[in-house]
Structure 1
Amino acid sequence: MANLTRWNPFAELEEMLDRYSRGAGFPRLGNDRETRDLMRRTDWSPAVDIAETPTAYVISAELPGIDRKDVKVTVNDGVLLIQGERHSEKEDKDRKHHRVERFYGTFARSFSLPDNVNEDSIQADYKDGMLKVTLEKSEKAKPKSIEVQVN
């Protein structure tokens, strides 16, 4: 009997983009080996919106049905990583499923941070299945003028 493998179109798309980016010489988000391996092992990918205000970047991720303890947000070497897991419902012998469209299992999203993000002030809030990560901008370095002495 053959094993069935769940087709993940997002993983296929990610792999295709990865090959294209490498061939074109572009860096990909989350280029360290650990992050790439994690992204390949994920079962699904949550929808994310990224917005910018004058003082911050805001990332909003839809994570319905996920407990806060199952969500982890980390920053390492200028890459923000959102990861976690949605657990499937316990199987009920008296219930027959006719269709299952929701994704279960692990997920991960990584984002390269702009240079003007203050990594020490990143905040994450989770409420009603929405994760909101606020990345405050740091003050831009003011141009420094140096007078050149002519001798």
Structure 2
Amino acid sequence: MSLIHWQPLKDLETLRHQMNQMFDTWTHHDTGGAPGRGMTWTPAIELKQTETDIVLKAEVPGVDAKDLDVQVTENAVSIAGSHHAEERTETEGMVHCELRYGQFQRWVPLPTPVHYEQAKADFKNGILTLTLPKLEPTQQPVFKVNLEDKLRTTATQNRLDDEHRQQTAHRRAEDALETMSEGDLDQAVRETVTQDRQHEEHRQDAVHMRAKSEG
């Protein structure tokens, strides 16, 4: 018997699991785990959990340890091998002996991840027992976001951007007044520019007052 740490393809795992479920009803229905005529034989499985381990037992009568191939992943176990059974019947003093041979494989998904490299196997009286230590879930680090700091930083940045825009507009208004001659501007235009500058100054004063109140 070999115990191998195996990493199969996910699609193959799913296919084998579905096939096992489909054949289980035929294989173990009222047969006590023995293969019937025309039926594909697979070992009966018992799966139990403790606080620290998953214990899997497989009934493989008539199979030698050397004919077993056990492969373990983090989430599943595969049990394969060669099975042979002898059926003897006696009728009217005549003994009829029939031998059955075949390959089998059983794919068993596990309820929780396990340390597959720490798996332990025992085989006695046709019963295979696997003890699989459970894999403890890793706790991901958690970062707590301070919403007050985030909001304060955002408000400060918005205020600085607003002040920069207002200062730029103020300088442009002053430059316009300095470069325009009295002959080029009539009274209406001059009053409009002056009002715009006063409006910008008022907004800038309001921003400074808000900044002082927040500080």
Same fold per superposition (TM over 0.5): yes
Q: Report the alpha carbon displacement of residue 97 of structure 1 after superposing the two structures with TM.
A: 1.6
How high is the TM-score relative to the length of structure 1?
Answer: 0.60
Contact 1:84–1:107 (Cα < 8 Å) also in 2 = yes
- State TM-score, norm by structure 2: 0.44
2:119·2:130 contact (CA, 8 Å) conserved in 1? yes
Report if the CA contact (8 A) 1:43-1:103 is conserved.
Answer: no
1:71 aligns with 2:71: no
**1:108 pairs with 99, 105, 110, which one?**
105
**What is the CA-CA distance between 1:143 and the residue it aligns to?**
5.1
CA contact (8 A) 1:80 1:111 kept: yes
Tell me how far apart the structure 2 counterparts of residues 124 and 138 of structure 1 sit (CA, whole Å): 18
Identity of aligned pairs, percent?
A: 33
Instruction: Give the structure with the higher percent helix.
Output: 2
Residue identity matched to 1:70? D
Q: Which runs of 5+ in 1 are unaligned?
A: 1-26, 90-94
SS at match of 2:13: coil
Q: CA deviation at 1:55?
A: 0.5
Deviation per CA, 1:15-39: give whole Å up to 9, x if none.
xxxxxxxxxxxx998225xx57x96
Higher relative contact order (CA 8 A, sep 6+): 1
Contact map agreement 1:124 1:131 (CA 8 A) in 2? yes
State how 1:1-150 maps to structure 2 within 5 Å. 30-31=13-14, 35=16, 43-76=40-73, 78-88=75-85, 96-97=95-96, 104-142=101-139, 144-149=141-146, 150=149
Once the two structures are TM-superposed, the CA of residue 43 in structure 1 deviates from its matched residue by 3.1
Unaligned runs of 5+ in 2: 1-9, 24-38, 87-93, 151-215
C-alpha contact (below 8 Å) 2:74/2:115 kept by paired residues: no
Q: CA RMSD in A?
A: 3.6
**CA shift in 2, pair 1:103/1:124, >3 Å:** farther
In the alignment, the residues of structure 2 paired with residue 78 and residue 116 of structure 1 have an alpha-carbon distance, to the nearest angstrom, of 5
Aligned length: 116
Max Rg structure: 2
Instruction: Provide the rounded CA distance (Å) in 1 between the counterparts of 2:114 and 2:46.
Output: 17
Contact 1:44 1:104 in 2 (8 A): no
